[in-house]
Chain A
Amino acid sequence: KAGVTQTPRYLIKTRGQQVTLSCSPISGHRSVSWYQQTPGQGLQFLFEYFSETQRNKGNFPGRFSGRQFSNSRSEMNVSTLELGDSALYLCASSGEVPYEQYFGPGTRLTVT
């Protein structure tokens, strides 16, 4: 099976812009979670989607949003970008084996 894929891998945006990141889970996986990784805050949970519904949400402002499509692919959107949003955004999917999350390579977002 192909692993979790994320596009794009690298992105440079300017403050105030918005950005959309994409994640394709492992085939058959219905749960997709997003995490933000920064040197200062480490790995932090953003949100989780299952069957197109947001099941869980971390402590991030409303500028961070996401959605999941019927094929389980997921997107996350960050509006009004701030310098502090520069991070590696990781997507993870899980399927029949509960609690076991498989991560993609991440999207490196730089905000200037």
Chain B
Amino acid sequence: AQSVTQPDIHITVSEGASLELRCNYSYGATPYLFWYVQSPGQGLQLLLKYFSGDTLVQGIKGFEAEFKRSQSSFNLRKPSVHWSDAAEYFCAVEARRGGNEKLTFGTGTRLTIIP
């Protein structure tokens, strides 16, 4: 069965600083990987996804993520955070078997931005 680990429950960074959120996955085949963001009281918004090909993927809001098969990681990065980036971030892996869609999520990382 697939699983996702986000080792950091809470991260605090200063506005303008760089950000890296860690994600490690466990999956038997080539994974489909995602990062979602959730603001308080809201649903999840897709930031970016990796299916295949170039291991560095660009997403919305200036985020990027790098897939590293050797480390089973898919870390999310942003060179300079803005106060509006404060939210909870979820890494997810897709288990696609016979056409069924099912996302398995990590426990999330809450991001706090300080002025």
Residue ranges of A at the interface with B (Cβ–Cβ < 8 Å): 4, 6, 31, 33, 35, 42-43, 45, 48, 50, 55-56, 58, 90, 92, 94, 98-106
Contacts and interface: CB of A to CB of B under 8 A. Distances in A.
- Consensus secondary structure, chain A interface: strand
Contacts of B96: 98-99
A80 to B, nearest CB: 25
Given A43-B90, A90-B44, A99 B51 contact: yes
28 contacts: A4-B43, A31-B101, A33-B101, A42-B105, A42-B106, A42-B107, A42-B108, A43-B90, A43-B92, A43-B108, A45-B103, A48-B100, A50-B99, A56-B100, A58-B102, A92-B44, A92-B103, A94-B101, A99-B94, A99-B101, A100-B46, A100-B49, A101-B103, A103-B36, A103-B43, A103-B46, A105-B43, A106-B42
Tell which of A31, A43, A45, A98 has the most Cβ of chain B within 10 Å: A43
Main secondary structure of the interface of B (DSSP, over half): strand
Contact of A106 (B43, B51, B103, B108): B43
Interface of B: 32, 36, 42-46, 49, 51, 90, 92, 94, 96, 99-108
A103 B44 CA distance: 6
A56 B101 contact: yes
A99 B102 contact: no
A32 to B, nearest CB: 10
A43 B102 CA distance: 12
B107 to A, nearest CB: 5
A56 to B, nearest CB: 4
Contacts of A4: 43
A106 B39 CA distance: 12
B101 A90 contact: no
B102 A103 contact: no
B45 A101 contact: no
Nearest to B45: A103
